[in-house]
Structure 1
Amino acid sequence: MNVVTRRTTTGTAAVPLALALTLSLGLTACGQDDSGKAAASGNQTIGLLLPENASSTRYEAFDKPMIESSVAGLCTKCTVDYANADGDEAKQKRQFDALLAKGVKVIVLDPVNSKITAPWIEDASRQGTKVIAYDRLAAGNVAAYVSFDNERTGQLQGQALLDALGPKAAGAQIVMINGSETDPNAVSFKAGAHNTLDGKVKSIGYEKWGEWKPAIAAQQTNEAIRNLGKDNIQAVYAANDGMAASVIDTLKAAGLKNIPVGGQDASIDAVRRVLSGEQAYTIYKPYKPEADAAANIAVYVLKGLDVTSVASAVTNSNGMRIPSILLTPIVVTKAKVAVTVIGGGLYKAAEICNEQYAEACNTAGITVK
């Protein structure tokens, strides 16, 4: 998928605030009594299809409830029809078709395999249903796209790995376990990481697609150890926290210590590993601004409003100009846990700092109230 994005949003805190103000004004103008076009059609259901729940806990724990809550706050008579594909693209296609059969007019789609969705979206368009790509850009003429700046995410991952290596970076050989080649986000993460790492480390000695699966990441880590030798791996880039966990366990089992490993998603177990020093960093993508943006655009589309008034960025994909909202990710290191995931409200200190991690929290200056 050929994707080029024009970014017109900057900063992490400013984007959600400006977005909220704009949407609040827009929805007040159209009326929150649900008397718009959606009411006239008799269909006020928003379909929500998320990709999986095995290698990343975020979708069930954060995205789903946050989108449902935001939709409810914007449209009192709207409902959300939700399904999770469990990483199965055929299952997600059945879920998509089921929503079309019900006459749902807006579908928020985070695809398992973004490369195969163009025919789905064409089918939806023929019956007047619009699709909003969420987190991953789906192939096809989607109405809008909501995500984070994914190449920037990869750049931050690469820089955090360099920072963890410090002066050893120039002589370091890196192992890279990327996401899935069917996920355009993973392709962008990889490109961003290479943009930062290439020329700053000695070499990328081993690189494979981990398919977002911890078991595959473990197999590939063992293969990298066999191919390169125990003394020739100085750091590991893992595209997300689920794979990072298995990489860390595999390195430990092989007797390798003090190898910086990074991830992404700010899962609570990863934050704990960052605090304990097992994981060098994770990437925090504030889920609520992303979920709110998706819900807001979905309600806009349902009411027949112009999404370009709030989706001010443009993503060029295969000749199509897609209205987009792109948010900025944040690096989480041990020193930044308090001001990022705790300060941002993702977790409470008491949730992170259980008995096992109490000392690590104390060392990082995190106080449990």
Structure 2
Amino acid sequence: MKLKKMTSAFMVTVLILGLLAGCGSKETSGDGSKDQIIIGVAMPAFEDWFTYLINGMEEYDEQHDNVKVDMVDAKNDSGKQMSQVETMIAQGVDAIVLNPVDTAAISPLIDTANEANIPVVVVNRMPDEDAMKKIYAFVGSESLEGGTIQMEKVAEVLDGKGNVAIMNGTLGHDSVVKRTKGNKDVIEKYPDMNIVREATADYQRSQGMTLMENWIQSGGEIDAVVANNDEMAIGAIMALEESGKRGDIIVAGIDGTEDGLDYVKQGKLNVTTFQDGYGQGQSAIETAMKAVNGEKIENKFVNVPFELVTKENVEEYLKRLKK
């Protein structure tokens, strides 16, 4: 009788432990693999150019039944994004794809994720050197390359001589530093090309328009306006057209947004360089899956190259945006 009671008690204990173990583990298939991989994606915003990134990630999600992409919008609030990523870590997602609001603020988040054995892939906005050492990979386009390709085409159109005005994006951003450096590295190769104006328009069309208006009012000859993105370039075009000063001034942008490509098609924007946001989004999830599967990668920088766009090939890129 005593032995029967002990046996029953033992079986109940085993059953409880088994249930607890089941509650704490993720569902697996018969071969021991996970039925579904959860990738947490932290975006700075669900608008503007970021929609191309989002589309690429969502299409990967739709094409793979074993992958679930959980995406959150920080509404450009760094504190909100930190809280969202902390929640992902607490929920035990399999990997995190992070497009930072503030690249300088992400190192502690990466440390926390690493402690929980959750790999982090940063996309689009390159983190600093310290954070790069801690993440699985960075997926994006090399901004230095974008600025170089852009200015090389402008130099070709200007036949290697002329006065150039540079519109910077939001100061402090890695993309601004590198795109502008790419511009200046090219200009240094041409003794007859000079930078006569340089100021920030914060990546905004309205500010690009205001800055161009100020440059027009201050006088001086400008042969080319080279902007760190399409939005500022479009603002410059609007100001030049309204003032009747467009003439033969060359205007160049970067990113290849839908509006930017439309302006190229119309012959208003002479040059842009296409940043493949859709490709970055797809590649970010693919790279996160490699991390989940324990694959080792040779290079932490997964480059999605910039591509030169002019009126001659713009139709190809318009089709790519609409797929």
TM-score (normalised: structure 2): 0.80
Measured after TM superposition, the shift of residue 307 of structure 1 is 3.5
Q: CA deviation at 1:66?
A: 1.6
Q: 1:53-81, CA deviations, whole angstroms, 9 ceiling, x for partnerless residues?
A: 55xx3322x2112212214434x232111
Amino acid in structure 1 at the alignment position of 2:82: K
User: Identity over aligned residues, as a percent?
Assistant: 22
Equivalent position to 1:102, from 84, 91, 94: 91
Assess if the C-alpha contact under 8 Å between 1:113 and 1:182 holds in 2.
no
Q: Could you list the runs of 5+ residues in structure 1 that have no partner in the other structure?
A: 1-32, 314-322, 349-369
2:284 — aligned with what?
Answer: 294
Counterparts of 2:173 and 2:71, CA distance in 1:
21
Match of 1:215 among 198, 206, 218: 206
Query: How many residues in Structure 1 have an aligned counterpart in Structure 2?
Result: 290
**Quick one: higher RCO (CA 8 Å, sep 6+), 1 or 2?**
1
Pairing of 1:121-140 with structure 2 (within 5 A): 121-139=110-128, 140=131
Tell me which residue corresponds to 1:224.
215
The structural deviation recorded for 1:199 is 4.4
Instruction: Measure, in 1, the Cα distance between the counterparts of 2:195 and 2:322.
Output: 34
Structure 1 residues 244 and 66, CA gap change in structure 2 (3 angstroms): same
| Structure 2 match to 1:264 | 254
Q: How does 1:16-165 map to 2 (within 5 A)?
A: 39=34, 44-52=37-45, 57-60=48-51, 62-74=52-64, 76-139=65-128, 140=131, 141-164=134-157
2:40–2:96: 8 Å Cα contact kept in structure 1?
yes
User: For the residues of structure 1 that align with 2:77 and 2:181, how far apart are their CA atoms?
Assistant: 26
CA distance in 2, matches of 1:49, 1:336: 34
Q: CA deviation at 1:260?
A: 1.4
Q: Which residue of 2 aligns with 1:324?
A: 301
Q: Is the 8 A contact 2:39 2:93 kept in 1?
A: yes
Per-residue Cα deviation, 1:141-193 (whole angstroms, up to 9, x for no partner): 211111123211110111122233x23x41x2211112233322232211111
Distance in 1 (CA, whole Å) between partners of 2:267 and 2:107 is 43
TM-score, normalising length: structure 1: 0.71
Tell me the alpha carbon deviations over residues 84-120 of structure 1, each in whole angstroms, 9 at most, x when there is no partner: 3333323322332332232224111111221221122
Q: Which moved more, 1:188-197 or 1:65-74?
A: 65-74
The alpha carbon displacement at 1:324 in A equals 2.1
**Structure 2 match to 1:28:** none
- Hey, what's the Cα distance between the residues in 1 that align with 2:246 and 2:46? 30
Equivalent of 1:341, from 300, 317, 323? 317
Farther-moved stretch of structure 1 (131-140 vs 94-103)? 94-103
Q: Distance in 2 between matches of 1:267 and 1:242?
A: 9
Would you say the 8 A contact 1:144–1:307 is kept in 2? no
1:296-311 equivalent positions in 2, closer than 5 A: 296-303=286-293, 305-308=294-297
Alpha-carbon spacing, 1:132–1:83, altered in 2? closer, same or farther (3 Å) = same
Q: For 1:34 and 1:290, locate their aligned partners in 2 and report how far apart those are by CA, in whole Å.
A: 34
Cα distance in 2, alignment partners of residues 263 and 88 from structure 1: 27
Letter in 1 for 2:60: S
Tell me, in whole angstroms, the C-alpha distance in 1 between the residues paired with 2:197 and 2:31: 57
Once the 2 structures are TM-superposed, how far is the Cα of residue 34 of structure 1 from its aligned partner?
10
SS at match of 2:135: coil
Partner SS for 2:321: coil
Query: What is the CA–CA distance in structure 1 between the aligned matches of 2:166 and 2:285, rounded to whole Å?
Result: 34
CA distance in 2, matches of 1:173, 1:67: 41
CA 63–275 in structure 1, closer or farther in 2 if over 3 Å, else same: same
Kept after mapping to 2: 8 A contact 1:178/1:209: yes
The DSSP-based 3-state class of the residue aligned with 2:82 is helix
Q: Deviations over 1:216-251 (max 9, x none)?
A: 323322333344x1x412111111112211121122
Tell me what 1:11 maps to: none
